[in-house]
Amino acid sequence: MKVIVASCVFPPEPVVSAKTSMDVARYLHGEGHEVVVACPTPSRNIAKADVERKISEMPQPFKVARLSALASKKSGFFSRFIENISFGLSVFIFILKQRKVDLVYANVWPVFSLGLLVLACRIKGIKVVASIQDLYPESLSAQKRLKETSAIFKTLFFLDSWIAKKCDHIVVISEGFKSAFVERRGVKESKVTVIRNWVKSNQVEVCDRTEARTELARHLSITLRDETFVCVYGGNMGVASGLDELMQHVVLFKKDVLFVLAGDGSLVPGLRELVSKSGCESKVKFIVPWPSEMTSLVFGAADVLLLPIAAGQEWASVPSKLITYMLSSRPIMLLTNKRSESAIELEKSGAGFCVEDRTDQAIFSCLDSLMELSPQERLSMGTSGREYAENFYSSDVALAKINKIFGSLV
């Protein structure tokens, strides 16, 4: 069959959602299907000057169509709306121009991009399998951009529900997401499948701590002494990350700890200003943008990996970086509600601690506990995390499930 993989992010962008789209495309191509990927030009956590070079360094065995989209320059509602709808229009036109397409796998921004994609597929008589990474408009409510009682929220919720019902199948990343579609949006349960995000273990190398720090100094000119306790955050620095809230606390932490923030996003200017005003330039280092090839080294240089989630956001999304963190074999400090799926998964893995109270005392206490662990204890905790990720976030199992869904539709 002929399949279009429509994805709002795609390598060389380093985010997990981009990699899962690539894995789906490669898997389907390997199964003998004709695959075309439709995606925008990379714009997340990648320097504009490096885009063409990085694309050329990652040739794919299938066609990749880079569509026009106005990349969002900040996290504001209007800026994201323009990016969302501009990509949606490009996908809409692209699908209408295609001939004899059997199925579209859609990993695109919700509501507008997905809605335009579904409309094009309905016009052409093409089946749609939608991969849902975030709940909208619930995520906007969690970020305090919209009130659930507002007319805009209700309109977006109605549109999202209508679009979901028009999809032939929906893939969600958690049981909570499934409930949101079945119970709140009225989608038939038989049309919703839980397939957790995955990261192939060979994409994250476990690095020796000392060697990783030496290599970072050589490649990025960031000197991390072997005796320094290093906490690393690696990923998108957007509003949903909650990184701004966490850093307001940790800049007050008096002990000898170095914090490394790797990634890019709308919070970066504010974080730099916070660090400067707090006089903490010596204890907080930025790697912006973050070269994707440095992922294993940056995580390998850490004693602890930090994973805050903005208050309320834990019910509208599940950060896929949790899997990457686990595969890095380093302890994790998670800042979120202990009833959230992220906290439950962390507890099952034995890979770290969850802090629920967003106070100096609670955060400092957790950092103290992690610093007091012996290197062997931290190693054991990290190893437990990697073993859990390899066992429960298997790409082979996930891709086989997706292929089975495709087979049932065509």
pLDDT confidence band for 74 (50 / 70 / 90): low
pLDDT of residue 300: 95
pLDDT confidence band for 303 (50 / 70 / 90): very high
Is residue 317 scored above 80 in pLDDT?
no
Mean pLDDT of 331-338: 96
Contact 110, 160 (CB under 8 A): yes
Contacts of 324 (CB under 8 A, 6+ apart): 16, 199, 204, 234, 235, 295, 299
pLDDT of residue 59: 83
Mean pLDDT of 361-387: 96
Mean pLDDT of 1-7: 96
Residue spans of alpha helices (H) in 190-251: 209-220, 243-250
Is residue 206 scored above 90 in pLDDT?
yes
Closest residue by Cα to residue 89 from 65, 66, 68: 68
What is the percentage of the chain residues whose pLDDT exceeds 90? 68
pLDDT of residue 146: 84
pTM of the model: 0.81
**Higher pLDDT pick, 48 / 295:** 295
Is residue 249 scored above 90 in pLDDT?
yes
pLDDT of residue 289: 83
User: What tokens were used for 99?
Assistant: 């001939």
Contacts of 269 (CB under 8 A, 6+ apart): none
pLDDT confidence band for 179 (50 / 70 / 90): very high
How many other CB atoms are there within 10 angstroms of residue 72's CB atom? Answer: 20
Q: What are the CA-CA distances from residue 249 to residues 146, 232, 246, 254 (Å)?
A: 26, 15, 5, 11
Mean pLDDT of 77-94: 89
As a whole number of angstroms, the distance between CA 60 and CA 94 comes to 20
DSSP for 313-372 reads GGGTB--THHHHHHHTT--EEEES-TTSHHHHHHHHHT-EEEE-S-SHHHHHHHHHHHHH
pLDDT confidence band for 172 (50 / 70 / 90): very high
Coil, strand or helix at 285: strand
The domains of the chain, with CATH numbers, are 2-198+394-409 (3.40.50.2000), 202-392 (3.40.50.2000)
Query: What value does the mean pLDDT of the chain take?
Result: 91
Is residue 75 scored above 70 in pLDDT?
no
Contacts of 218 (CB under 8 A, 6+ apart): none
Exposed/middle/buried for residue 371 (C-beta within 10 Å: 0-12, 13-18, 19+): middle
pLDDT of residue 346: 95
pLDDT confidence band for 262 (50 / 70 / 90): very high
Residue spans of alpha helices (H) in 16-150: 16-30, 51-56, 77-97, 112-124, 138-142
Token pair 């206490």: residue:
365
User: What tokens were used for 301?
Assistant: 């240089």
Q: How many residues does this entry show for the chain?
A: 410
pLDDT of residue 152: 92
**Radius of gyration over every alpha carbon of the chain, rounded to an integer in angstroms:** 21
pLDDT confidence band for 77 (50 / 70 / 90): low
pLDDT confidence band for 220 (50 / 70 / 90): confident
Is residue 65 scored above 70 in pLDDT?
yes
**Cα 164–chain centre separation:** 21
As a whole number of angstroms, the distance between CA 74 and CA 71 comes to 9
